[in-house]
Structure 1
Amino acid sequence: MLNLPDTFIEKYQKLLGKEKAAALFESMNQETKKAYRINSLKAHQKVSYSNAQAVPFIPNAYYGEVKGEDPEWVSGTVYSQDPAAMFPAYLAQIEPGQKVLDLCAAPGGKTTALGEALQNAGLLVANEISSVRVKALRENLERWGISNALITNDDSFALAKVFPEFFDVILVDAPCSGEGMFRKNPDAVSYWSPDYVLTCRKRQQEILTEAVKKLRPGGKLVYSTCTFSPEEDEEIVAWLVKTFQMTIEPTQVESKKISHGQARFVDDNLPELDRTLRLWPQDDLGEGQFVAVLRMPGESSPIDSKKEKKKKKKKRSALLNKDERDWVEKVLSNFNLPDFLTDWPSKALVSHDHVFIPAYKQSTKGLKVINNGVELGLLKKKRFEPGHQLAEVLAQVDQTQVVELQSNEEYRKYLHGETLRVKSELRGFVLVAYHDFIFSFGKITGNGVLKNFYPKGLRTMKG
């Protein structure tokens, strides 16, 4: 039973009335709603979980529980996510080829959805200010097979200097007081206070002031929080409208499980606030969430093709030499490549022996870059060793150079980092799968031993 602060109870009784507030408080003591999304980028999508109950509006999303060692999760075929938290990325309505920024991205639930919508075309900048949480972000984007992401570990101020008026869409899932997560994370109740709400509001305004500098004229800002607080929700949206002359876009989402924002909470003279969305836990969709879609004034100017060509001709000293291309080709020729990788010889660069295809080719000076694009693998003495990220990307198309693990025991041993003896005519580098879910590279020796190339940082305790 949650021990809600008296000031919290009084606040929402005043905002909602005693009957609706009581329903909110009661819902906070009920079980959380769990759901998952299926990755449409992967070639194999037949999962073992039930798809009997779909999450409203969200493509390929269903209620159900996912375990972290299931092959569906390890292979990046599913992502476990609060169903309410799926809506900000969905409402962004991303189109392939756009330039998209997820400003507060970790652990990556919304980011994977944005990257999936881009379909390996355009650019996704995924930023996380925490040096600890950005590691989880990178792992999740790698697992999902996102090939066109620039992952950064910076604040909004640093990004604004590098990307002025650059992005078509920016998603800001802002740090907040977390009222919508009370039943999922009861510890959040302990640090809630009216003063903390105001502190969060100030921080959100600071983040957004820099965020809008990165939007193209006519660009779209998706603002979301996991709190109910009008100070951090409707009030912030009203501030964006008045300060930056932004307009609130209609969301075209109507459901008994989804409510709208309330102008009466903040400013009755701005009825467009009712276009925003509020997801309450008592409506039985998921946890608490607030989402607003706003448009910057002006019109996006078309891309200057001459300028783009000039950028592409910029001299790069890190291109692969002939021998290096031959070593990479010797390995890649055994696998079916997605269309966006077929021209890798002209795109691949090498840095400290790491071979990669950059998502962003221009200067990132001043930014802490965690990953840029897709890493193909590592150059060693007169040979090439394919990388884990490449394995997850290759799972987007059907493959023949695959060894299928035959039992749960073999699968768990492989996740633990052990070598296995397999019955296969294949030799050399292979993709490793369990229940048809590709999740790693391996290498079969002449005597049928499958050497383990599952990354050490992802390996599990032996179970």
Structure 2
Amino acid sequence: MHSNVHLPSDFLALVEETMPSHLSMDDFIAACQRPLRRSIRVNTLKVSIDEFLVIAQEKCWDLSPIPWCKEGFWIEREDESVPLGNTAEHLSGLFYIQEASSMLPVTALLDGHPPLELVLDMAAAPGSKTTQIAAAMNNQGALIANEYAASRVKVLSANVQRCGIHNTTLTNFDARVFGGWLPETFDTILLDAPCSGEGTVRKDADAMSNWDLASIHDIAMTQYDLIESAFHALKPGGTLVYSTCTLNHQENQQVCMHLKNTFADAVEFLPLGHLFTDADKALTPEGFLHVYPQIFDSEGFFVAKIKKLFSTTPPEVNKRLGKFPFKPAESKIIQQLIHELKASLGLDIPTSSQVWLRDNEVWLFPSAMVHLIGELRFSRIGIKLAEALKPSNKKNAPLYRWQHEAVMALGQSNQANNVQLTLEEAREWFMGRDVRPNLPAGKGEVMVCYSGAVIGLGKWVGNRIKNGLPRELVRDKNLF
């Protein structure tokens, strides 16, 4: 229980002042003091929902559907001796640990929208919504995931790679730049804005230790700037989802009304009462979803969907971009790559990707964002496919060394030349150790799999497979 959760008196007064009359303050406080239900989202880039339900049943996991996300489930486990994040299914990217309310913004983003071609996630780390969008896009089109804090980009990148995503580009900017730098560029935009986090007290009893009314005002001023930037970066006819994990009106309704007051008839609020069964219980008069924790037994959350009806005049900016260090691969090299990738691992280069080179590195860029090269500085684009090896005199010597992130994104566990590991071997693998499967020795690089998923890339050395797991992914204790 979180009976010691910190709820400042000024905060409770603010909630009581704005909470709809049909909701109870006693229920609100009681909900804040209950532990948060654990929830996960199935990563359909790796496994179907039906396949995952079979896996969960075999592991005695009790899953309850989340009404607003068909891939989302509340989860209860009989045996919790191993952290959920250290299970094989999580390490191999079959699911993402994500709070249920956090799945709402992407559901709103996707509702009624044609296939997404170019999407911006303005505040992306650690990656729950980025990976949810990419899975919905089925790795097609292009998704730019921006994160302001440089220290969090690494975590974002790791989650994108673990989930097998190759259509995503990472950037590291104050998101206020997008409106001027890339005006009217994106089909749809998610602004899950930095906020005071009032809705997260069920997860963190000390979440509001530094809360005060003055800080709410300062945060709201930043949110005003961010939502204006998002609106400028949105194409006419495109949609913007604004969301927070906080509860006060200053950071929610008032931010949306600021946008309406600024751009008048160019702004249309799209009502969300139809989004799922009982969504009307959280519906505001404007058509937004204002989720208090007692309504759905979840975190508190706010979601608004906004349509841009016509063009606006973006701010004028001067931008300086450094030299772009990549160049497109020539057709001869592309054909060479296609042949060797197929021959060695049985994989294909996605038709939605382009091959680009930097020194000896080979990268796959999402074709749908290549036109933005020269318009924006990128931290990372797509996935690193391979490193070119030095020429060798040996007959049939490999020309490329394939990369872990490439097989995680492109590999399928049912390919003929894969090696299926036992539970004990898979545990050794995730601990960074070589494995000796009970199989005839093979040659060259090979994908290793466990429990229906590709978990890495190794290389046959005699009768053992040399571990190719990147050092930062090694787990040394309390594994499945």
**Is residue 92 of structure 2 the alignment partner of residue 85 of structure 1?**
no
Q: Distance in 1 between matches of 2:352 and 2:258?
A: 47
Q: Distance in 1 between matches of 2:140 and 2:446?
A: 27
Residue number in structure 1 paired with 2:9: 6
CA contact 1:95–1:118 (8 Å) conserved in 2: no
CA contact 2:92–2:453 (8 Å) conserved in 1: yes
After TM superposition, give the deviation of residue 110 of structure 1 in Å: 0.6
SS state at 1:231 partner: coil
Matching residue within 420, 425, 442 for 1:404: 420
String of CA shifts for 1:200-257, please: whole Å, max 9, x gaps: 1111001112111110011100000001101111111111122123111022225447
**Is residue 282 of structure 2 the alignment partner of residue 260 of structure 1?**
yes
Q: Distance in 1 between matches of 2:114 and 2:161?
A: 21
After TM superposition, give the deviation of residue 51 of structure 1 in Å: 5.6
**Is residue 174 of structure 2 the alignment partner of residue 170 of structure 1?**
no
After TM superposition, give the deviation of residue 294 of structure 1 in Å: 0.4
Residue number in structure 2 paired with 1:418: 433
SS state at 2:407 partner: helix
Residue number in structure 2 paired with 1:310: none
Residue number in structure 2 paired with 1:61: 72
Q: Distance in 2 between matches of 1:343 and 1:221?
A: 25
After TM superposition, give the deviation of residue 115 of structure 1 in Å: 0.7
Letter in structure 2 aligned against 1:283: I
Structure 1: state its 5+ residue gaps: 264-272, 301-315
**Is residue 210 of structure 2 the alignment partner of residue 194 of structure 1?**
no
Residue number in structure 2 paired with 1:440: 456
CA contact 2:347–2:411 (8 Å) conserved in 1: no
**Is residue 307 of structure 2 the alignment partner of residue 286 of structure 1?**
no
CA contact 1:162–1:364 (8 Å) conserved in 2: no
**Is residue 318 of structure 2 the alignment partner of residue 319 of structure 1?**
no
CA contact 2:18–2:249 (8 Å) conserved in 1: no
After TM superposition, give the deviation of residue 278 of structure 1 in Å: 1.6
Structure 2: state its 5+ residue gaps: 77-82, 313-325, 392-398
Letter in structure 1 aligned against 2:68: F
String of CA shifts for 1:392-430, please: whole Å, max 9, x gaps: 12235742221111123x222211211122223443211
String of CA shifts for 1:331-368, please: whole Å, max 9, x gaps: 43243446x62587xx3111132211212223544744
Residue number in structure 2 paired with 1:372: 381
Note the aligned Cα RMSD (angstroms).
Answer: 2.5
Q: Distance in 2 between matches of 1:324 and 1:15?
A: 60
Letter in structure 1 aligned against 2:67: P
Letter in structure 2 aligned against 1:127: N
Letter in structure 1 aligned against 2:229: E
Q: Distance in 1 between matches of 2:182 and 2:412?
A: 30
Letter in structure 2 aligned against 1:244: F
Q: Distance in 1 between matches of 2:229 and 2:107?
A: 23
After TM superposition, give the deviation of residue 441 of structure 1 in Å: 0.7
CA contact 1:432–1:439 (8 Å) conserved in 2: yes
Kindly tell me: are residues 96 and 431 of structure 1, through their superposed partners in 2, closer, same or farther at Cα, counting changes over 3 Å?
A: farther
The number of residue pairs the alignment matches comes to 433
TM-score by length of 2: 0.84
Residue number in structure 1 paired with 2:350: 341
- Alignment map for 1:23-38 (pairs within 5 Å): 23-38=27-42
CA contact 2:268–2:309 (8 Å) conserved in 1: yes
CA contact 1:83–1:286 (8 Å) conserved in 2: yes
Q: Distance in 2 between matches of 1:215 and 1:239?
A: 17
CA contact 2:327–2:358 (8 Å) conserved in 1: no
Q: Distance in 2 between matches of 1:433 and 1:19?
A: 50
Residue number in structure 1 paired with 2:223: 204
Matching residue within 354, 357, 362 for 2:364: 357
**Is residue 145 of structure 2 the alignment partner of residue 149 of structure 1?**
no
Kindly tell me: are residues 416 and 235 of structure 1, through their superposed partners in 2, closer, same or farther at Cα, counting changes over 3 Å?
A: same
Matching residue within 98, 107, 119 for 2:138: 119
Kindly tell me: are residues 451 and 210 of structure 1, through their superposed partners in 2, closer, same or farther at Cα, counting changes over 3 Å?
A: same
Letter in structure 2 aligned against 1:148: N
Q: Distance in 2 between matches of 1:258 and 1:32?
A: 22
After TM superposition, give the deviation of residue 390 of structure 1 in Å: 1.1
CA contact 1:34–1:64 (8 Å) conserved in 2: yes
Kindly tell me: are residues 52 and 158 of structure 1, through their superposed partners in 2, closer, same or farther at Cα, counting changes over 3 Å?
A: closer
Residue number in structure 2 paired with 1:110: 129
Residue number in structure 2 paired with 1:309: none
Between 362-371 and 428-437, the greater mean CA deviation after superposition: 362-371
Q: Distance in 2 between matches of 1:242 and 1:461?
A: 54
Between 388-397 and 162-171, the greater mean CA deviation after superposition: 388-397
Kindly tell me: are residues 95 and 140 of structure 1, through their superposed partners in 2, closer, same or farther at Cα, counting changes over 3 Å?
A: farther
Between 386-395 and 46-55, the greater mean CA deviation after superposition: 46-55
**Is residue 433 of structure 2 the alignment partner of residue 430 of structure 1?**
no
Residue number in structure 2 paired with 1:392: 408
Q: Distance in 2 between matches of 1:182 and 1:167?
A: 34
- Alignment map for 1:236-315 (pairs within 5 Å): 236-245=255-264, 246-251=267-272, 252-256=274-278, 259-263=281-285, 273=286, 275-298=287-310
Letter in structure 1 aligned against 2:355: A
Letter in structure 2 aligned against 1:243: T
Kindly tell me: are residues 433 and 237 of structure 1, through their superposed partners in 2, closer, same or farther at Cα, counting changes over 3 Å?
A: same
Kindly tell me: are residues 141 and 444 of structure 1, through their superposed partners in 2, closer, same or farther at Cα, counting changes over 3 Å?
A: same
After TM superposition, give the deviation of residue 291 of structure 1 in Å: 0.2
Residue number in structure 2 paired with 1:329: 339
String of CA shifts for 1:155-207, please: whole Å, max 9, x gaps: 12333344211001000000111110012122221111111111111110011
Residue number in structure 2 paired with 1:22: 26
CA contact 1:337–1:394 (8 Å) conserved in 2: yes
Q: Distance in 2 between matches of 1:330 and 1:189?
A: 55
After TM superposition, give the deviation of residue 132 of structure 1 in Å: 1.1
Q: Distance in 2 between matches of 1:132 and 1:159?
A: 20
